[in-house]
Every structure is written in C-alpha cells, then in structure tokens.
Structure 1
Amino acid sequence: MSEEKLICDLCPSKKCYSKEGEFPKGCPTVDQPGMEEIKKLYKTEENYRIARAACQTEKEGYLKDTRVEEIMRFCRKNDFKKIGIAFCIGLKYEARVFADILRKNGFEVHSMMCKSGGVPKEFLDIKDEEKIRPGTEEVMCNPIGQAEYLNAKGTNFNVIVGLCVGHDSLFTKYSDALVTTLVAKDRVLGHNPVAALYQADKYFKNRF
C-alpha cells in the first residue's frame, strides 16, 4: 500500500490496537502531525473527565448494557442530571419512551420536537416541487431552535433521536452541551443504517 493511498479503513495492520506487526508507512499513529499535542488535549480537565468516563462506561457495560443504559451510566459518571432530547416527529413515541426511562432513573428531562416553531419550508426558498408532498404546506425542521431551547434549559447532555442528516449536524453545531446519538434516522431500514453496509455487496449492490 503506497503512502499516498494509506487510509485506516484499508490498512492491513492493527498495530495501533494490538501492538503486533509493523506500522505501515504513512500511518497516522506515527506520522500524523501534532499527535503529541492531541494527546495533551486529553489531559485538560473537561476532556480528561469525559474521555475517562467514556472508557469506564465501555468497560463496565461491555456486551451487557444497551445504548440507553450506556447513556445513563455515562451521565451518572459525569454528574449530568439534566438531559435534553432533540427528536424527530416521526420518532415521537421512541422519544417519549426514552424520556420516561430517564425520568424513572432520576434524570430531569427536557425535549423539543424537530417541527417546533412551525416555520414553513418557503423560508428556506424551498420550491413546491422540492417538497415531500407538493401542493401542501410543509414545516421545515428546526435543529437550531432545538439546540437553543435546550441551551436555555441548561441541559448537561443532549441526545439526538432520529434527526435528519444535516439537521443533526446543525443541532450539534449549536448545542452548548455535549451531544450523543441514540437513534440515527433511516426510514428505509427501520432506523438501522448499518444494515445497508451488511448488504452492500448483496441486495444493495446495484444501488451503491
């Protein structure tokens, strides 16, 4: 593998993980500029606490905890008591169940649905033919509004439940609190996007 083409997903070695074998030429473990400076960032107070809690959460719940449980375990380790949920209207039921679980486990929960604000898509200069249902009034998603609402509530940690691609990016950009994802939206695959990868050389081969 040439240095020009070396990227981690094509690497034949796992020395960075297993310590066995050799580092390929151009490996970011040894050649990435600023790696030592990056390591220093983990020693800053907040990053150290978060990264350490993430490692502990992984170990304590490994092959045992669901992601819902991992989120709660991580929050307890960081003393995050106010949890925000930014959810898609299509996953209102799932968001309600998740919020109920959090409340029963002692967390204070604040949530906001994607369509809150009621802003029509015309605000973004969306043409009628660009709507999901042309000829109807459609409300745009409002991820910035979701983030600002949860910021105002002073949430310690925010959880995405099924926001659209791009909307999740804007929510993360404007969220003051750390963000994780409970549900990644995939309308075709029942919100299980990794299924497309498992079938990339089979059922989805012609599409990809």
Structure 2
Amino acid sequence: MAKPKPDAITCSECGQFNCYRLDKRYPAICATTDLAPEERQELVSLYTGDTIDATLARAAAEIEGQHYCKLNRVEETVAFARRIGATRIGIATCVGLIEETKLLVEILRLAGFETRTALCKVGSIDKTEIGVPEELKIKGGHEACCNPVLQARMLNREETHLNVIMGLCVGHDSLFIRHAEAPVTTLVVKDRVLGHNPVAAFHTIKTYSSRMRDARRMQEL
C-alpha cells in the first residue's frame, strides 16, 4: 500500500466543511469541487435506486433524521434492521463480550428478530497452528486464535440479512467484514484499556493519552 505524501491535503486538513451545509466557502483544494459531475451523478443514482446500497443509504439517513440524539446505538441498530427489511440478524462476538451479546440477543428477539451468533474462538484453532509463537500467547497452553473467517462463514450459511460486530479485535473485524456476505454494522468496538470506548483516547490526549503524541513511540508500535 502506497504511503500518502507528507504534504497531502485531504479532508482532515479542512477547516470549512462547506460540503455539509453549503454555508461557507470550499477551500482551494477540495474533494467535493474536484468530484467529476458524472461521478457525482453516478453516486446519486446509486443511492436512489433499488439496490442494497440504496436501501442501506436511505435507511441510515432516515434514522439519523428521525431519531437524532434520541436513540442509543442498540436502538438505532434495531431501527436500521427493521428499515432494511432484515428478519435474521447475525452477531459476530468476542468471547470477552458474550454477556453483552446475550443481552443483545434478548433485545433483538423481543423486537421480533431471529438471531444467529458466532463466537470468535469457534473452531478452537491454537495460535501456534497459524504461526504465532508460544511466547506471544497471553497465558500459554492451548489458546485458540480468533477465527473471524469461520464466524463469517457460519453466518453466511445461516443466510443472515444483517450482521452485527460485538467487540472483535482490530484486524479480526477487518477479516470478518471481508468475508461476510450480508451487510455489517458495528455495535461495540474492542478497546480493552478504555472500556471499549476508543474515543476516550482523543478526549484525554492532553493528559492520560498524551503518549500518543510521542512520534518515536508511535513509530515503534
């Protein structure tokens, strides 16, 4: 993967965000003004058709408008699943969040959905079998690696209409999304240090998380 140029100007360097409300001015270099008219029209057609992409886009936008700052993420997931016509929901869960997943299953079933759950350790493949050395295990002995590809395959076989990620590790979530056939949404993001609230790292960047601004340390991770 090519590294971005150090001086590349993208949306993170913008201070206008005129693309949101059209109440300011676009900067000199802007992805919106650089967008070719034919690509813009192609995107409008994509979102207004009868494909799964259009269904997902409209459902997400309508829920945001109707329930803005009124529903929590769990409730939004229920509303989203209903709007896209999903009846069978798959859950790809971390073993460390199985109790929360059981609550989610209860809530989804109360809402009238079928559920199918796939645990991250399913298959019980030891980490050494995939080339991870014994010394890099957490505790040693038989320690199953996470198996997001099998999780995806299990839910694919169940023909789920929507899959929900419950705390899969960084990278394991990428593999699950890559192999899942149904649309995927994330309910819980894994962060063992911050109680599964990774945005707290940015909210504490001037205090507890200031180490992230140590260039040498971050380059050595």
Q: Please classify the TM superposition score into its range, dividing by the shorter chain length.
A: over 0.9
SS of the aligned residue for 2:210 comes to coil
1:130 equivalent in structure 2:
136
Q: CA deviation at 1:156?
A: 0.2
RMSD over aligned CA atoms reads 1.4
Cα distance in 2 between the residues matched to 1:207 and 1:51: 34
Name whichever of 89-98 and 54-63 sits farther off. 54-63
Quick one: which of 166, 179, 202 aligns to 1:174? 179
Task: Report whether the alignment pairs 1:72 with 2:75.
Answer: no
Q: CA deviation at 1:176?
A: 0.5
Matches within 5 A, 1:75-94: 75-94=81-100
2:14 equivalent in structure 1:
11
Quick one: which of 192, 200, 206 aligns to 1:195? 200
Name whichever of 121-130 and 104-113 sits farther off. 121-130
Query: What's the % identity of the aligned pairs?
Result: 42
Contact 1:29 1:35 in 2 (8 A): no
The TM-score, its normalising length taken from structure 1, stands at 0.93
**CA 1:78–1:138: 2 relative to 1, 3 Å:** same
Contact 2:152 2:176 in 1 (8 A): yes
2:216 equivalent in structure 1:
none
**Quick one: which amino acid aligns to residue 154 of structure 2?**
Y
Q: CA deviation at 1:63?
A: 0.7
SS of the aligned residue for 1:176 comes to coil
SS of the aligned residue for 1:79 comes to coil
**Quick one: which amino acid aligns to residue 196 of structure 1?**
A
2:56 equivalent in structure 1:
50
Task: Report whether the alignment pairs 1:102 with 2:105.
Answer: no
SS of the aligned residue for 2:211 comes to coil
Unaligned runs of 5+ in 1: none
Task: Report whether the alignment pairs 1:158 with 2:170.
Answer: no
1:85-117 superposed Cα distances (whole Å, 9 cap, x missing partner): 000000010000001100011000000100010
Unaligned runs of 5+ in 2: 1-6, 214-221
1:121 equivalent in structure 2:
127
Cα distance in 1 between the residues matched to 2:9 and 2:116: 44
